[in-house]
Amino acid sequence: MNNISLLQNYWKELYPATGFKILEDFLEEAEKYRVSASDSQTDWYKDAIVYSLYVDLFNKDFSGLLDKLDYLEDLGVNCLWLLPMLDSPMRDAGFDIRNYDRIRADLLGLPENFAKEEQENLFGKFLQEAHQRGIRIIFDIAMNHTSDQHPWFLEAQKSPDNPYRDYYIWSKDNTMYSDARLLFKGIENSNWEPLGDVYYLHRFFSFQPDLNYKNPQVLLEMSRNLLYWQSLGVDGFRADAIPYLWKEEGTDCENRPKTHTIVKFFRALLDHINPGSFLLAEACQQPVNVVKYLGDGDECHAAYHFPLMPMMYKAIAMEDNLPIRKTLSTQVTPALPDSAQWMTFLRVHDELSLELIYVSEEDRKYIHENYCHDPKWDFRVGEGISARLAELFQKDIRKISLAYSLMLTITGSPVVYYGDEFGKLNDEKFYNEQIKLTGKDDTRFLVRGRIDWKQLQEDLKDPENFHTQVYEIIKSLLNTRKEHPAFGRGHTEFIDAVNLAGKNANQVLAYFRTMPEENILVVNNLSGRQVEIKHPLSHNNTFILNANGFSYNEEKESIILEPYGFVWFEAV
């Protein structure tokens, strides 16, 4: 079935009482966004090493980011995920979008009233320079809600008869959708915010009213936004908060069938106009629900593996491979469509999430107790920890390196959070600044903050400096990963590590990453004790790709791993 037929089917499912004329007119309009194809590779994301950053916090603006493309290329990065960059009042770090087709003026170094042509010239230059270095660009777009300063909402609140009123969800009381959980527990008291004599729905902050996708104009407006950025050369989008798009009374308003229809519509539209745009699902759910956002290869191309992230921390804390092996078993993580990919991460711009939707109360409590070293880091009453990677591991370089060994090799495509490559710490100054600015005590501000490049350059001159040691190890691992397609495209097969007494060494996590052209063996010591195991392969048939805290005993044909040590072998 061609994309036009698909779009018609999705439209009929979403809006059965609306004819095709609106859709046909829109598709005719959409042709203006079509550009000549310049890249035939559409599954590039399987080889991606993604680096996530805020443009302003990373290096002031796009000009500053342009200056650091050499740094990022040298680090081994081949995809940038730009955290919210669109026009915003910045009460939620840019996830409260005021205009979907404008970049924030300060990020462009332009006055607030800049012309769109200026935006397209400056941003276009950045895209061109990144693409010349083989670096793809994706960015965040909040699909579920806008800022309360968005022109649509400013119009909508004027009167019930305003044409934009139906872009949002209103009620005379706050009892509708009562089964929808409170996502910002401890920060917001309700999913409804009073405005005059009515309430509007918000699943996140009260200044982020939810969009009403039951209105077809909302779907088309959001589609126009995606097509605009696609036509400029953006390689893809991180679809923020997509599980909540479609609301139905008597449900929890998450993962509804028509939410998937909306995502299918976006995918078919992007494929129709300019094939190859990447869609990344931000669906904070159990894998069995997350894989539904990949569909049969007709929704998103990739999704975060949220449950794997906390299980990597748990495995290191309890010195046992079971949390990871269980999470990646087919009982928990279903198989993906051939075209789809998991995205793995250790830290992102949000808290270390311990939502009970994908971790048990026992796991939440255990991880929180082992990693929330400061009460100030608590987020959402124990459902998260707001701390940088180096803080969580208390600046233990061995644990930081081991965690990266796991993330970079175990499955999917990895996401590096800006600054973690050199052990950036929590930023108390930035945290306090943001509380004053937003009026919200959001501990996630601790894990953001600016990079002081002048200080970092000084730190990196000293080989004994903590930041230098972390940087050199992570850079080496990233570049090794980049050279071997099996890490992104291969099949993962866990094996039992066996000690010299012939017993399973459960503190070791070992696995093969295999594809027809490559066979790679990764062995990780999750414990704080030295461990010696039998070599799973012949020593003569392996080549060391990378290692930390590793040695080989030729006489015993054994592998010796120091506390939190690891080794990556290629079978030859």
3-state secondary structure of 565: strand
Strand 278-281 to 302-304 pairing: parallel
Task: Examine the residue annotation and report whether 320 is marked as an active-site residue of this protein.
Answer: no
Q: Please work out, in degrees rounded to the nearest 5, the angle formed at the alpha carbon of residue 266 by the alpha carbons of 261 and 267.
A: 95
Contacts of 208 (CB under 8 A, 6+ apart): 92, 95, 96, 142, 145, 146, 147, 148, 202
Distance CA 336, CA 503 (A): 33
C-alpha distances (whole Å) from 178 to each of 182, 203, 252 are 10, 12, 8
Distance CA 151, CA 87 (A): 12
Q: How many CB atoms lie within 10 A of CB 124?
A: 12
Decide: 7 and 265 in contact? Cβ < 8 Å: yes
C-alpha distances (whole Å) from 403 to each of 347, 359, 400, 500, 552 are 11, 19, 5, 26, 22
Residue type, 538: S
Distance CA 424, CA 522 (A): 27
Distance CA 330, CA 288 (A): 10
Contacts of 397 (CB under 8 A, 6+ apart): 423, 466, 469, 470, 473
Distance CA 180, CA 242 (A): 15
User: CA neighbours within 13 Å on the CB side: how many for 211?
Assistant: 28
The residue annotated as part of the active site, out of 92, 235, 240, 420, is 240
The residue annotated as part of the active site, out of 148, 235, 282, 420, is 282
Distance CA 565, CA 572 (A): 23
Task: Examine the residue annotation and report whether 282 is marked as an active-site residue of this protein.
Answer: yes
Contacts of 96 (CB under 8 A, 6+ apart): 88, 89, 90, 142, 145, 146, 147, 148, 149, 205, 207, 208
Decide: 211 and 167 in contact? Cβ < 8 Å: yes
Catalytic residues: 240, 282
